[in-house]
Structure 1
Amino acid sequence: MQPPSPPLRRRAFLAGSLSSLAALCACASNIQQPVSPEPQRLPITPAADPVLEARYAAFEDDGHIVPAVPYRQMDPKYLRQRVPDPTGEAPGTIVVDTPNRFLYLVEEGGTAMRYGVGIGREGFAWQGQGTIHWRQHWPRWKPPAEMIARQPELEIYSVANGGMAPGIDNPLGARALYIFKDGKDTLYRLHGSPEWQSIGKSVSSGCVRLINHDIVDLYERVPYHARIVVHQDEMIAAI
């Protein structure tokens, strides 16, 4: 048999070379093909609510400018709202549900005004029943001796030194409600706070803190010498 002519050999060589090149290109394509990244999920910011915008807008009070609260960055359940009363207590009673970070002011007709709260170390120190015996606009802050022992730099605000002057940075905020039991100060307080981020959380110190906007609202609603009930265990709603 005659050997294949040179042209045929060249054609076979070229065909084989092209097949090998195509295979190499296919592998390269498989290796270098870009992979589309997963779409980035951005947090959804709720739309502005005109009612809440007004409720948590900046306002002036006794010469102090209280900044607006960025309520859309908060858990909605901790915003002030009227709810069916879960406490079974008489109207006018304040109920603190410590584990769930809620404060209720019981109303007539089976409803309650509910506020989100932050709980500090002192907020876990007392439970039971008492009376709102003293109320204060823009109170002075006088840290107790136990707190000063933990944080000596607070000595300048001690009782002996007259406490911290009222103001927007004062830890007691715009209002404070002082709880007494059997005629004695329990050292347990409901008070305002500029730290809206702390609502719904357990914070380093303090008693029960509300947004300044909410403590002002509560202050105007709560009757004088109101009864207060504080639960440190899960609160069971009355049936």
Structure 2
Amino acid sequence: MRLKSAIIVAALAASLAGCSTIGQMRLFTNDYGGVSDAGYQLPRIPIEKVPRQFHRQIVSYDTKEKPGTIIVDTGNKFLYFVLPEGEAVRYGIGVGREGFEWSGSAHVALKREWPTWTPPSQMIKRQPELAQYRNGMDPGLKNPLGARALYLFNKGGDSGYRLHGTPEWWSIGKAMSSGCIRLMNQDIIDLYSRAEVGAKVIVM
């Protein structure tokens, strides 16, 4: 009876933490509910409609990169935040559509909560209707950068690419963006809390 009670208590604790364990994989499927953040009310993500491999989870991950490094696997649509002892937090992502892919190394130069979005001039040329935002689109639930943004710089300065949130949860696992790496808003909030300014970012 004591063993049975201990198992029940452990299972309840995991449930309350929003984390479930399957083998060596720890899923955070319960962490996609509505969130009140900085005066904004993020809606619940219907996570049951998102393929399970794109749910936030802690996985075994073999890399020589040090903890705190961010590795983006554009082919498999995963972003890894490297943890100690051979593990990483894995997030599902959306990536650049054909013609907008990129790869290389950068670092997180800036972090912004509820950022302003300013479309680059090249994007305005492709989509003239965005000219109204040439001086910036105010933060909010419809802002393309979502709840958080990490700004990536390289040796040449601002790369123009971001790791950012998106209200378009259905785009995760797909190639739809103009090159930036997008995460579900609840995931970018989690990544933002972990990643430090100066963190190395590798895009494969």
After TM superposition, is the score higher than 0.5? yes
Name the counterpart of 1:229.
202
1:71-220 matches, cutoff 5 A: 71-121=47-97, 124-158=100-134, 162-182=135-155, 184-220=157-193
Report the AA paired with residue 124 of structure 2.
Answer: I
Name the counterpart of 1:234.
none
Identity among equivalent positions (%) equals 51
Report the AA paired with residue 90 of structure 1.
Answer: K
Instruction: Quote the Cα distance in structure 1 between the aligned partners of 2:151 and 2:158.
Output: 8
Q: Deviations over 1:20-39 (max 9, x none)?
A: xxxxxxxxxxxxxxxxxxxx
Contact 1:123 / 1:188 at 8 angstroms: preserved in 2? no
Report the AA paired with residue 164 of structure 2.
Answer: H
Call closer, same or farther: CA 1:134–1:69 in 2, change over 3 Å.
Answer: same
SS for the counterpart of 1:69 is coil
Using the size of structure 1 for normalisation, the TM-score is 0.71
SS for the counterpart of 1:113 is strand
Contact 1:122 / 1:206 at 8 angstroms: preserved in 2? no
Name the counterpart of 1:16.
none
Structure 1 residue runs of 5 or longer lacking an equivalent are: 1-48, 232-239
Contact 1:120 / 1:204 at 8 angstroms: preserved in 2? yes
Using the size of structure 2 for normalisation, the TM-score is 0.83
Name the counterpart of 1:63.
39
SS for the counterpart of 1:203 is strand
Report the AA paired with residue 112 of structure 1.
Answer: A
Contact 1:122 / 1:188 at 8 angstroms: preserved in 2? no
Deviation at 1:224, TM superposition (A): 2.1
Contact 1:122 / 1:207 at 8 angstroms: preserved in 2? no
Structure 2 residue runs of 5 or longer lacking an equivalent are: 1-14, 19-27
Instruction: Quote the Cα distance in structure 2 between the aligned partners of 1:123 and 1:213.
Output: 28
Call closer, same or farther: CA 1:54–1:173 in 2, change over 3 Å.
Answer: same
Number of residue pairs aligned between Structure 1 and Structure 2: 180
Q: Deviations over 1:114-146 (max 9, x none)?
A: 000001249944311111001110001101111
